[in-house]
Amino acid sequence: MLKFGLLGEKLEHSESPKLHQQLMDEKSIDGTYELIEIPKDAFQDTFLSLKKSDYRGVNVTIPYKETVIPFLDEISPQAKYIGAVNTILFSNGKAKGFNTDYFGFRALFEQNDIKVKGLNAIVLGAGGVAKAVQKALCDMGVFDLTVVSRGKENFHNQYTVSYDFYKEKRPKTDILVNCTPVGMYPNINESPLSKTLINAKIAVDVIYNPEETLFLRYARELGIKTINGSLMLQEQAAKAQEIWNQETF
């Protein structure tokens, strides 16, 4: 039996085991998918032990998508450019990193028939998933991209501003994407922005639990088209299974 799993700090909300089991069942793959919660101070030892275990591969989520990179033996060119890894293949005692969040995010727009080329976008957050989202938006032809961050992160010279600056300017944009964990279960009564600061044509939240975050509810009440992260989760998971099993899903 093949073994797969999800590495993260807090995983009680995750729907990944159910989703990956469905994908494996569809292809008659005999495998299991487990949640592997790791405290930050134990990440290195745990990951190095996984490399020597019988796991075929793992996904990586908050807060380890960037932390894991120094412990990899190989990294795909795309994941290296993005600077974040969410999928790892173990083979012959080595670990190779990939980023399937990129494909999952692109699917949100492709399957909703939304053309990004020439539009403006604002991304909230600068973590691992935000970096994949920024790369995807750029590759789809976004005209202008601004990142709103609590820190000073800068992704390949994209324009980065603070939340204080954002609140002061209250910018209008075509696409507004929440890539922070704010509003994720169980903290469902939180939003990265107040309702008065949401001014866009399309609002996207990469969070999938709850189905409608407070951020998306605010946007919907303002008459803005909303998209949640459910499809992104499904598509990135399918891509991960393709990497692990060398089979198209």
Residues catalogued as catalytic: 65
CA dihedral for 105, 108, 110, 116, sign (positive or negative): negative
* Conformation bin of residue 142: beta by default, left when phi > 0, alpha when psi is -120 to 50: beta
